[in-house]
Amino acid sequence: MDTQTGFIIGVDTSCDDTSVAVLEERTGCVLSNIVSSQIKIHQGFGGIVPELASRSHMENIAFVFAQALESAGINIQQITRVAVTNTPGLVGCLLVGTGFARALAYQLGVPLHGVNHLEGHLFSPFITEPPLFPCLGLVVSGGHTAFYRIASFEHVTLLGQTVDDAAGEAFDKCAKMLCLGYPGGPVIDQRAGRGDQNAFPFTVARVKMGREYLSFSGLKTAAYHHIRVFGDLSEQTLNNLCASIQKGIVDALMDKAAFFFTRHRFKSFAVSGGVAMNSLLRTRSLEIADRFNVKCCIARPDYCTDNGAMIAHVAHVRQLDDQLFTLGTEATKKIQARKLACKKKQ
């Protein structure tokens, strides 16, 4: 390790994962990325309980931070910058991360940067692969589903997004109806591998607002009606439903990606967010990139779900101000998806 280089700390406590990462300032190399998941705490409730999430961040953050330093092999004095998610997210959760990060930066006398969580996801494929601009960026997470035109790290334009549920939310809600627990995406993905994806038809919804928008609420209702028809679901029917729901969600995403590829000129396709873990989405993203002759960059699985590395990475690739005395937090998730765009499409 270069002993002269500084280290960026990335903190994310926006939802139900407490994460701290250490990134080497000069090279952008991730030296550690510790994630403490709260899934076990929320599982029994069928979804995230905000108060329990913030309390758990409070209990874990100091330990996760210590582990991140130890695993990176650095000491606290070597930290040169601190980056933290300050929006969007659950406000009580964001306050734990931003409070911790601010105290750390203040104590060390180093700059503090507030990072938009969606920007973290959007650029996360470029932690491991060099970017190729202009790029069509797709962020698919539990709270957001949006397409962006990335002209550079400083120039991002929102192209379109879901008008209702996010893709991850659709996975989670369908899994809940099928009594498969929380989070729903991974279990649906697993069962889909043993099911027939054409057993139940889920058509891609048309949205009145315009072709650039997506909707998943119709799919959720259709899933509900299919499930109601059966009393007890056999294992095979359950697997078939999972495979069909997964295909319905991925079809909607790929239909929109194809729409943007025909409307704009891109050299690459970057897919990120928790749902980018999905095996069918990963395969179909590669296929569509091939079809439109662009490079495909999908976030590495450990950078798909929430993590501190993607937050430190934003501080590495973007010019950010020191916000030690000005950093605030904003809670509204969907509005923030629009605000991410550095140059907005009005």
| Residues forming the site for ligand KG4 (CB under 6 A) | 15, 141-143, 168, 171-172, 183-186, 189, 273-275, 277-278, 305-306
Q: Select from Zn ion, ligand KG4, none the partner in contact with residue 116, using the beta carbon and a kind-dependent cut-off of 5 to 8 Å.
A: none
Residue 278 CB, shortest distance to Zn ion, in Å, is 14
Q: How far is the CB of 188 from ligand KG4 (least distance, A)?
A: 6
Q: How far apart are CA 61 and CA 18, in angstroms?
A: 6
> Taking Cα atoms as reference points, which of 321, 316, 275, 328 lies closest to residue 87?
328
120 binding partner (options ligand KG4, Zn ion, none; Cβ < 5 to 8 Å by kind): none
Q: Which is nearer to Zn ion, 120 or 160 (CB)?
A: 120
Q: Quick check: 37 and 16 in contact, CB under 8 A?
A: yes
For 140-185, the DSSP string reads: E-SS-EEEEEEEETTEEEEEEEBSS--HHHHHHHHHHHTT--SSHH
Nearer to ligand KG4, 74 or 238 (CB): 238
Q: Least Å distance between CB 337 and Zn ion?
A: 11
Residues 6 or more apart from 24 whose CB is under 8 A from it? 1, 2, 5, 7, 8, 30, 31
Closest distance to Zn ion from the beta carbon of 327 (Å): 19
Instruction: Report the partner that residue 183 touches, choosing among ligand KG4, Zn ion, none (CB closer than 5 to 8 A by kind).
Output: ligand KG4
Q: Please, what is the minimum distance in Å from the beta carbon of residue 314 to Zn ion? A: 13
Encode 64-81: b = buried (16+ Cβ within 10 Å), e = exposed: bbeebbeebebeeebbeb
Give the binding site for Zn ion (CB under 5 A).
141, 306
- CB-wise, 8 or 275, nearer to ligand KG4? 275
